[in-house]
Amino acid sequence: MLKLKNVSKYYYQNGVVAKGLSNVNLELHMGEFVVITGESGSGKSTLLNILSGLDSYEDGEMYINGEETSHYTEEDYLNYRRSYVSNIFQNFNLVNSYTVYENIELALLMNGYAKGDVKDKILDLIDKVGLNKFKNTKASKLSGGQKQRVAIARCLASDTPIIVADEPTGSLDSDASKSILEILHNVSKDKLVIVVTHNKKEIEKYATRLIKMSDGRIIENKVIEEINKDGELKEVSNKDITYKSKFLLGFRNAFNIPVKFILMFMIFLLISITLISNYSAFKVAQYEENYGYSRVFYNTDNKRIIINKNNKELFTDEDYEQIKNIKDIDYLVKEDLLNDYELYLNSDYLYLNGLLYLKDIDKVSLGRIPKEKNEVIFIGNKNSYYLEYEDILDKEYNIDGTDINVKIVGILYDDSYNNYTNKFYLPKELRDELLEIELPFYSNVSVKIDNQTISDLQIKISEKVPEGFAYLSDFFFKDYQNKEININNQNIYYNTDYQLIIKDTYNMENIKKLNVTYENDNIIYISREDYNKIFKKDNYQSSVFVKDISVLKNVKKELNKMGYQTFLIRDNTTRDSEFINKLFNVLKVIVTIVLILTLFFIAYFLIRIIYKSRNSYYATLRSLGSSKKVCVNILMNEMFTLATFTYGLFIIFLYLVQRNIINLSYFKDITRYVKVIDYIIVYLILLLLSLLISLRYGRKIFKNSIIKTYKEEE
């Protein structure tokens, strides 16, 4: 039994109060076919909405099987609609982007049916309303009459004890109207059917009760056929919608409206690009800034990896070939000491300094490529301090600490250098000569003569000294001719003892016989062959330089797998103070949070505009018994699907860019240092934004009543 006792309904708009119903008393029972008529504005639709639980009332009481409902919350009305009521709306309230089949299916899915279990029932209902040819046609393509048939079929699908129909035949021709009324009449034998109509004549013959309304009151309540009043309204036992169905509806909603999909795709794409760009900017700051320094290594290039063999043996040619074949290595420097050799060039008017440039050069910005041993190339910024004030090209300089003179014959501009840093490219023959000079400084050298250790002696090369012999100063060693001298060279890689014979001595007057310039009395001159045997043991240590910082650790892993010890310069330099580093990390977090919040509000503002037309969809779900949680879950699944689809395509696009299949330098640059874990983090942020948008918009869905939402959409 459904009973109203002195029920009144008020509407409030712009400070004005209007009465929708006034002290309505009514008692309805199972098996009745109730027809409500009246002029427009008489209150019949308001009465229908209260009976169906789509709208609330202010005064009086409504009873369902004797139970009061004035205390009902939104959730109580939801359970009432799910368990007792199905609606046929005057404006159909179908989902226009769904097919006929999907609209009917929606009612069943919302009541816990599995998609695979409802096909036969849906097809039977489609046959009953005569729409077999249109089962796969979208509702937006149907005529008004066809839409009404779909609405009736959807209503019948729920099999509730109460069917409430607002002008169910208003859009149908006479034959179709008769068919639909026959269906409603047949189901009314074990249900309560309540129909609002303007066409009393057409429907009167099916009615068991006629109600006429005027000005919010019932002015006529005529019982045409007595019905057994003992039957209670039988509650339909429905289950909650399944997780699978919620996912299905979310996925379907993501793609079913092309214009909405394109707009949402653009929003999520913009978010994805912004997040990746932000993430990349911090990665660039983290990886590319060469702000570290070292007390040991002058060349603190972030791309440098120092390598040696685990057993501290010499590198072989086969080793170097193997290393060069590693994919992301840019170049290899076998003689690692040259990486940290700082060259000082002096002239009468200028003093230049810089590290050695150890890659091959095949072109210059000014001048030419070196042709002779002592010709060099200056490499620096176009606005370099040295280039701004001086003309250094074709000028001769002395290498500090040696008697070697060189000429700068070429200049190569490189904007990656700042105005005060530069490098020099030297021909290999000159590099080898400098290496010979430097080698003793990287070892502990001790000299013994007659088993007596002599300190503070330097060892240098003279082309005039025969192999196996040595020349010492006669100031200290005048009487030491033909005595044996032992030179011990010790470093982290080897320990060598080498014996020579003191052939003769030198002084300031006769030193020219050695073809060298007198420096001091603490120098031992030996042959180049002996010098190399003592100091130049090929290479125990080398360096590789990777093509990009982003592959640094990958190359390190490859080298480790091949059995080499690795030392990353980047991880072994002193950076700015800990406070600055911590401040940078805090700033990174703050900027990221602010960016996420900004993206959220911008995205929500745009999505709210795009989804304004979708409010009626969620009102329809609510009319079918959907709770706020279910609506939000479906919306969330839709957002997750759109975000995942967009992000997936974006990742594929970035992959094609990295493979040079698509040539867009911007996207290649912003993803240089982004790893798989970074992409996952960005995706999780994207899902977080989708979740926040869904929750916020979900509150808006339930802000208005179902009827008010429908009216706003009309």
Please tell me the predicted confidence (pLDDT) of residue 465: 94
Please tell me the predicted confidence (pLDDT) of residue 706: 80
Please tell me the predicted confidence (pLDDT) of residue 626: 86
**Residue 113 structure tokens:** 């049916």
Report the b/e string of 562-595 with b at 16+ CB within 10 A.
Answer: eebebebbbeebeeeeeeeeeeeeeebeeeeeeb
630-668 pLDDT, tens digit per residue, is: 999 999 999 999 999 999 999 999 999 988 899 888 888
The whole-number average pLDDT for the span 599-618 is 89
**Residue 618 structure tokens:** 């969620």
**What is the rounded distance in angstroms from the CA atom of residue 477 to the CA atom of residue 506?**
9
The whole-number average pLDDT for the span 95-108 is 94
Report the 10 Å Cβ neighbour count for 428: 11
561-595 pLDDT, tens digit per residue, is: 999 999 998 877 765 555 666 777 788 888 889 99
- Sequence-ordered list of residues with C-beta below 8 angstroms from that of 432, at least 6 positions apart, any chain: none
Environment class of 348 (CB within 10 Å of its CB; exposed 0-12, middle 13-18, buried 19+): exposed
Sorting pLDDT into bands at 50, 70 and 90, what band is 365?
A: very high
Please tell me the predicted confidence (pLDDT) of residue 580: 62
**What is the rounded distance in angstroms from the CA atom of residue 266 to the CA atom of residue 567?**
45
Please tell me the predicted confidence (pLDDT) of residue 389: 62
The whole-number average pLDDT for the span 6-11 is 90
Please tell me the predicted confidence (pLDDT) of residue 386: 77
**Residue 359 structure tokens:** 């890659």
Please tell me the predicted confidence (pLDDT) of residue 308: 92
Please tell me the predicted confidence (pLDDT) of residue 279: 82
Report the b/e string of 327-343 with b at 16+ CB within 10 A.
Answer: eebeebbbbbbbbbbeb
163-189 pLDDT, tens digit per residue, is: 999 888 776 778 878 888 888 888 888
- Phi and psi at 626, nearest 5°, equal -80, 135
**What is the rounded distance in angstroms from the CA atom of residue 287 to the CA atom of residue 669?**
13
Please tell me the predicted confidence (pLDDT) of residue 265: 96
Please tell me the predicted confidence (pLDDT) of residue 581: 66
450, 467 Cβ separation under 8 angstroms: no
Between 494 and 118, the more confident residue is: 118
Report the b/e string of 1-13 with b at 16+ CB within 10 A.
Answer: bbbbeebebeeee
**What is the rounded distance in angstroms from the CA atom of residue 154 to the CA atom of residue 624?**
10
Beta strands in 249-359 (DSSP E): 304-309, 329-333, 342-346, 351-356
Look at residue 712 and tell me whether its pLDDT is greater than 80: no
450, 485 Cβ separation under 8 angstroms: no
Residues 244, 245, 248, 250, CA torsion sign:
negative
The secondary element (H helix, E strand) that includes residue 88 is strand 85-88
Look at residue 496 and tell me whether its pLDDT is greater than 90: no
523-540 pLDDT, tens digit per residue, is: 999 999 999 888 887 888
Question: In this structure, what is the dihedral angle of CA atoms 513, 439, 543, 282, given to the nearest 10 degrees?
Answer: -110
- Phi and psi at 585, nearest 5°, equal -65, -40
Measured CA angle at 222 (ends 216, 224), to 5 deg: 145
The whole-number average pLDDT for the span 324-353 is 90
% of the chain beyond a pLDDT of 90: 46
**What is the rounded distance in angstroms from the CA atom of residue 31 to the CA atom of residue 521?**
127
Domain ranges of the chain: 2-234, 245-286+579-713, 304-334+539-572, 336-436, 443-535
Look at residue 402 and tell me whether its pLDDT is greater than 90: no
- Cα 317 versus chain centre, distance: 44
Sorting pLDDT into bands at 50, 70 and 90, what band is 233?
A: confident
Please tell me the predicted confidence (pLDDT) of residue 578: 58
**What is the rounded distance in angstroms from the CA atom of residue 689 to the CA atom of residue 643?**
9
The secondary element (H helix, E strand) that includes residue 366 is strand 366-367
Look at residue 291 and tell me whether its pLDDT is greater than 60: no
- Cα 663 versus chain centre, distance: 21
**Mean pLDDT of the residues in the chain:** 88
**Residue 598 structure tokens:** 């900004």
Report the 10 Å Cβ neighbour count for 100: 29
Please tell me the predicted confidence (pLDDT) of residue 298: 86
CA distances to 276, 638, 639 from 687, rounded to whole Å, are 14, 11, 8
Place of tokens 């810089």: 354
**What is the rounded distance in angstroms from the CA atom of residue 558 to the CA atom of residue 547?**
15
Please tell me the predicted confidence (pLDDT) of residue 198: 81
The secondary element (H helix, E strand) that includes residue 214 is strand 209-214
Report the 10 Å Cβ neighbour count for 487: 23
Please tell me the predicted confidence (pLDDT) of residue 54: 86
CATH class of 2-234: alpha beta
Please tell me the predicted confidence (pLDDT) of residue 101: 95
What is the DSSP secondary-structure string of 45-71?
A: HHHHHHHHTSS--SEEEEEETTEE-TT
- Sequence-ordered list of residues with C-beta below 8 angstroms from that of 148, at least 6 positions apart, any chain: 88, 92, 168, 169, 170, 171, 172, 180
Sorting pLDDT into bands at 50, 70 and 90, what band is 290?
A: low
Please tell me the predicted confidence (pLDDT) of residue 485: 93
Assign residue 635 a region (left: φ > 0; alpha: ψ between -120 and 50; beta: otherwise).
alpha
User: pTM here?
Assistant: 0.68
Among the listed residues 225, 237, 198, 238, the one whose alpha carbon sits nearest the alpha carbon of residue 29: 225
